[in-house]
Amino acid sequence: MTWWERLAALLDPAATEPPAAFTLGDRGVQPPEELEETRRRLREVQQTAEALRTRVDRYLAALEQSGGGPGEKGAEAYQGIGDLSPSLAENLERLRQRFRAPDNADLIIREIQVATRPPVRAAVVFLEGMAEKAVINSHILQPLMLLAHLDHHLQGPGDPPADSFPAKGAARGREGGAGRSPRAPGPGAEAGAGDSGGGTDCPLQAILQRLLPGNQAEVKPALDSVIDGLLYGDTAIFVDGCDRAITVETKGFPVRSVSTPQQEMVTRGPLDAFTEAFRVNIGLIRRRIKDPRLVTEILQVGSLSRTYVAILYVDGVVNPKLVREVKRRVSSLKVDYVGSSGVLEQLVEDRPLSLFPQTLSTERPDRAAAYLAEGHVVALADNSPFALVLPATFWSQLQTSEDYYIRWPFGSVLRWLRFGALVTAVLTGGLYIAAANYHHDMIPTELLLFIAARREQVPLPAGLELLFMEVAFELIREAGTRIPSVIGPTIGIVGALIMGQALVEAQLASPVVIIITALSGLASFAIPNYSTAFGLRTLRFAFIILALVLGIYGIAVGLFGVVLHLAGLRSFGVPYLSPLAPRVRHAPDVTQRGPLFDMEFRPRSIRPVDSRRQAPVARPWDPTVPRRLRRRQKGDGSGEPR
């Protein structure tokens, strides 16, 4: 690709978009499936066929060992298939090898005797720092070592034998429990995961049914599934003579409590924010959307980190094509480590080389819930206090939660103020350079003479002077961010004042340039989204350079290129400038915020299944409703925006 083709692709991403690119809109015919999607499904079919072939081979081998008949003995032998051994010593040795023990000091193995009659050797295994020791002592060790000798704990009067308890009932109870932690299926986990195995002499099922009071206990047939549970804070119980293990929910790793937002603060609204705890974040959203249609699908990303990623959406509202596309992009990632939602954002967005983010990052649960109600998809990554809203538009980057918590005229004024700040942050420096170097007639005579008098003793050209001040301002901002929070703001303010005063007295910068630098920097702080503000700060330098080269014509060329680039961007099939480009009728919620009772419909750009978000008459007590409703429905009689 030549440099001209690269420049064209950067300015107009839509020009290089493949014909089969994902879009939520209709193209007249059903778009064909992408080649990568077809290959992925083919691989899944091949893996399923291989797994079935392996299970059939094991089943036939089990039939031969049990007598070769398809009766009850053969079924029992098949249920016992797994890679765990009935030997306790062998299972513990394999576990030590996988965790590199004894070099790895985090693996804790506590060998005990279950106080049954007769006693049974067992081992309790967990990872230091990931499991809660108090829960292990009270819910596992104490029942197994002190209470198991009581007859009624294993078999009381009139009770069925211990080996006759149905294991699947326990699995169903676990799956139905509230707040169930996500578990990644390991090899062999699907083959009778709830069955006891090991024959009638194995007390595993009796231990599960009678001695473990934890509400999330699961029988695991494979070592990989046991290791997955240990890595997420569970405790594993191995019993001698049983070729299965039990994992009990004992998560106890340190978690930061719910606190106030740090970046999206509001004066009127909820004051809770996401944390690094995966399940806590999902609970914060479910507190706001109390609807059974809210679906949480959990995927795993990263071969080393094994990070959980939750895909949340409201079934019956969101477009199913959008959900499938989000899941396809997340599940197909081939990386080792995904530490936070910021890494995930860069891996799933359409144009990672663009200066503008194509996802919306938020730390506020109320904002994520509001976008879910509109028909968006929200992605939550484990260990990250930020959620990703998919898709996102340019206008959503300039909106805040407070716009909806105050009355609509004030919300509109705040949005107009942010748009003015955007223009000021990007164009102020370039317009000054263009007027000072090329277009003197754009400046009033008195102001021109004032600027010339102040710059008379400055040895640097205007362009170099402004670039120097912009770089100095960015250094002060970065230093104030990295310095500890107690003295960070003080250093930033004092450093800016001292440096500005020293530069003026040393005649290395004029007061006008300092004012312009401070104005553009202050305007960039008014942009609510950090990633968008960072992109605009970068564009500010580009416009200064264009103004140095071509004057006002360079600024015009730069604006044309930026608008062309924004018009060609897509976020998960949605045009980035939608609903203004392409133009569609929409609710009054883009550049201004209309009254809430007028926002009857969800955004048409994301193609929701249910486009109506509220009744046509949201305020039936209002006497002006009939007249306003007739005026709104005049034209097509439906009132629905096109």
The tens digit of pLDDT for each residue in 335-356 reads: 999 988 999 999 999 998 899 9
Instruction: Show me where the domains of the chain are located.
Output: 83-248, 278-392, 405-575
* pLDDT value, residue 359: 94
Beta carbons within 10 angstroms of residue 547's beta carbon? 29
Q: Tell me, what DSSP letter sits at residue 173?
A: H
Helices marked H in 67-127 = 72-79, 88-98
Percentage of the chain surpassing pLDDT 90?
36
Percentage of the chain surpassing pLDDT 70?
78
* pLDDT value, residue 245: 93
CB–CB of 113/145 below 8 Å? yes
Indicate if the pLDDT at residue 76 is higher than 80.
no
Q: Please state the separation of Cα 160 from the chain's center in Å.
A: 48
The tens digit of pLDDT for each residue in 498-509 reads: 777 788 888 788
CA distance 347 to 203: 48
Indicate if the pLDDT at residue 250 is higher than 80.
yes
Best CA proximity match to 609, nearest among 393, 299, 313, 391: 313
The tens digit of pLDDT for each residue in 549-561 reads: 999 999 999 999 9
Sign of CA dihedral 71, 73, 79, 81: negative
Helices marked H in 253-386 = 278-286, 320-331, 341-348, 365-374
The tens digit of pLDDT for each residue in 289-331 reads: 999 999 999 999 998 988 999 999 999 899 999 999 999 999 9
Indicate if the pLDDT at residue 50 is higher than 80.
no
* pLDDT value, residue 511: 87
Beta carbons within 10 angstroms of residue 451's beta carbon? 20
* pLDDT value, residue 55: 66
Indicate if the pLDDT at residue 233 is higher than 50.
yes
**Whole-prediction pTM value?**
0.78
Mean pLDDT (whole number) for 464-481:
86
CB–CB of 185/227 below 8 Å? no
CA distance 328 to 490: 47
Q: For residue 123, name the pLDDT band (cuts at 50, 70, 90).
A: very high
**Residue 387 host element (H or E):** strand 387-390
CB–CB of 246/378 below 8 Å? no
Beta carbons within 10 angstroms of residue 335's beta carbon? 14
Mean pLDDT (whole number) for 119-140:
90
Indicate if the pLDDT at residue 11 is higher than 90.
no
Mean pLDDT (whole number) for 220-226:
90
* pLDDT value, residue 362: 94
Mean pLDDT (whole number) for 541-551:
93
Contacts of 546 (CB under 8 A, 6+ apart): 430, 554, 555, 557, 558
Indicate if the pLDDT at residue 589 is higher than 70.
yes
